[in-house]
Copies of this chain bind each other. A is one copy, B any other.
Amino acid sequence: MHHCIIERYESLIVYLFMKLTTRFALLFVLLHNISFFAIAQQSPQVATVAPGVKKLTSGQPEKFSPYSFCGEKPMVAEMSRLPEAKLPFNVNDIKINVSDRGAVIEIPLDNEEQLYGFGLQMGSFNQKGLRKKPIVNDNPSHDLGYSHAPMPFYVSNKGYGILVNTSHYTTFYCGSTAKNTGAVHVNDGKSGNSVEELYKNDRPASGYVAVDVPGVQGVEVYIFEGPDLINVLQRYNLFSGGGALPAMWGLGVKYRVKADFNQQQVEKMADYFRANDIPCDVLGLEPKWQTTAYSCSYVWNKDFFPDHDKFIDTMKTKGFHINLWEHAFVNPKSPLYVPLKNKSGDYLVWNGLVPDFVDPAASKLFADYHKDTFVLKGISGFKMDECDNSNLTTGNATWSFPEHSRFPSGINGEQMHQVFGVVYQKTVYNIYKELNTRTFLDVRSSNAFASSYPASLYSDTYNHHEYIQMISNSGFSGLIWSPEVRESRSVADLMRRSQTAVLSAQTLYNSWYLQNPPWLQINRDKNNKNEFMENAKAVEADVRKLLNFRMSLVPYLYSAFADYHTKGIPPFRALVVDYPTDPKVFNIDDEYMIGQGILAAPLTENSDERKVYLPAGNWYDFNTRKKYPGRQEYIIKTSYTDLPIFVKEGTILPLARPVEYISPETRFELTCYVYGDQPKPFSLFEDDGVTFDFEKGKYNTLSLSYQNGKGVVKKTGAFKGSRYYLKSWEVIR
């Protein structure tokens, strides 16, 4: 018996020794910097996680991935209604190599295909051939890939999307790095004699996209399948919980007042809007409403807003929603400071705490305070500033927290930078969601899987061409972008920027350093001295016309956002999304689709006319009603008060009589414009515009069609109210 026991012990010992030895070997690998040794080189695991969405896993994926912060469930039913998913390559051809440096992913790339995405890029559009570092930063210089809302996510016109589910800083090499395979590449060595020719480099196509993900022990890759590019975007948005549906008033006009305005000054500005019949739904307050701003106290400055709650109510009766500027860095004077002290990162920003929003307890403290102090008092939304990082030394290195910061949840500073805008949005959005109240927020940073947040990005960069390009880019990544208007170099600049703002997701005038609206004085200094332009009233009238058009467009836009929510179709999207096989649109970044039937081609101050390429089909100039055959380029002239838009043949476009603001009682008087002889029905979305009841089915679909010379409206759905009055129909041929 003893012998027997010994034998049993012996085999156990041998087993334990073997285990130990293995562990030691592994430890040796982990602890010593043997770069060439790959820890995990096995094939990635492939799983289908939703209809047309695959997940590849290799090694030990990170805990704090972007998808881990997605609070919304995939809209699986809606996804299963899409055309059958298809990939243009074999999923097993994606290679993932995990080493002690991190992960490197290689995805097949066809020589002919075009790549887009990486979040809110500015400076580039078609990303094929480029090296991109999608890193959160307000300083996107030289098109490195830095952006307020970068994403490790690109899509191809061949109908698929690749999302690397990492919060680490990454580099994507989009098809231009060639490997040393030992083979001699084609290179005839011939170069001309001119200096230019000598330096014309040989640029082979590599046949793959390489993604460098340093600092991880493994990685997940999400693949969004087509068959078409638009289906890829639909799947991405639906997988993220469906696109955002802002409160209806959010689609009106937003005006941010000067940073140091007090209660009386804001009220005076509100009265100016109403007295002059200029539409405005939201007034945004900038830093001075708080006792401390950099960092934030989240406490009303009673010197400036002595009756803040009454002020909110008064504004509400006049049809204004109030939006508050803030950032997330908590000043020692804030009531949130002591509760958050141990739920924040180990570094301060502007002497303020960086709340660990990854920890639900920290988010809850922040949210509860905001709910009680502001949201329940009637504050309709927030401008969540400074949640991006900055590389600019203007100011100095104190801008945001170091990458090596540590947070109690375990996330580090680098990862937190990448997701800070997302977890901040989630924290604030959930206040509204839990109160069954919709909102439209402003946010300075975002990342992947954030399609469902009704928050508009903005920037200080202010290049008008880039602002237009960002509208096109936003649609590839489930983002909402607001090309805001500040001061201007010329009236032409003001008017063209205003047109772009009207033709974007949020029409915003940001006068945080202007005493008066920019249309009264474009020059900052004169504006602040109350010196108006000679033609101020004429310019004001022109701006009024544009903003009235914006209000006319709200029902159409709102339905486009409903499509974004329920079908995942981006309301603003580059032409290549709808026309992925037309090479002429591959590089068009300054034209985009709005909803189903409108093509926008904004102008800048440089000229009153521009080249417009119209894709397949026939198109109508909205202003002249002239019909243009597609697949051609035209030179189109547009005045300041017209909008540079084209309507696709077959569209039914409902336009409203402008209102000055949108309340739950607003009933839009619609004229339906029917373009061409065979119009397709248009689905108008109807609900209360302010609650989430539509998610429980309390909405209507008004199907607008035009048959046998007359308009037909078919209403279905469970919403009891009526937001639209169909006044008339007009056919354009």
Chain A contact residues, CB within 8 Å of chain B:
2-3, 5-6, 9-10, 12-13, 16-17, 19-20, 23-24, 26-27, 30-36, 60, 62-64, 101-102, 104, 124, 129-131, 139, 141-144, 171, 173-174, 176-180, 182, 184-185, 187, 189, 191, 193-195, 198-204, 210, 212, 214-217, 258-260, 286-288, 291-295, 297, 331-333, 337, 341-342, 344-348, 350-351, 353-354, 391-393, 395-399, 401-404, 406-408, 410-412, 414-415, 512-513
Contact = CB atoms under 8 A, between A and B. Distances in A.
Interface SS of chain A: loop
Contacts of A23: 20, 23-24, 27
**Assembly of this chain: how many copies?**
2
B171 A346 contact: no
B199 A294 contact: yes
Contact of A350 (B101, B201, B350, B411): B201
B36 A62 contact: no
Nearest to A512: B195
A260 B193 contact: yes
Contacts of A513: 195
A16 to B, nearest CB: 5
B396 A191 contact: no
Contacts of A403: 171, 212, 214
B142 A195 contact: no
B31 A194 contact: no
Contacts of A187: 292, 295, 331-333, 351
A16 B27 contact: no
B351 A204 contact: yes
Nearest to A30: B30
A131 B214 CA distance: 21
Given A6-B9, A195-B258, 4 more contacts: A171-B402, A184-B337, A199-B294, A202-B294
Contact of A203 (B6, B185, B396): B396
A189 B6 contact: no
A287 B200 CA distance: 12
Nearest to A24: B23
Contact of A174 (B141, B178, B337, B397): B397
Given A6-B5, A19-B20, A202-B295, A410 B351 contact: no
Nearest to A395: B201
A448 B191 CA distance: 36
Nearest to A183: B332
Given A23-B27, A142-B141, A403-B171, A180 B259 contact: no
A412 B60 contact: no
A512 B393 CA distance: 34
B178 A347 contact: yes
Contacts of A210: 402, 404
Given A2-B2, A260-B194, A411 B201 contact: no
A171 B397 CA distance: 11
Contacts of A6: 2, 5-6, 9
A119 to B, nearest CB: 17
A351 B191 contact: no
A-B pairs, top 8 by smallest CB distance, nearest first, are A131-B397, A189-B292, A212-B404, A184-B332, A2-B2, A35-B412, A176-B397, A178-B348
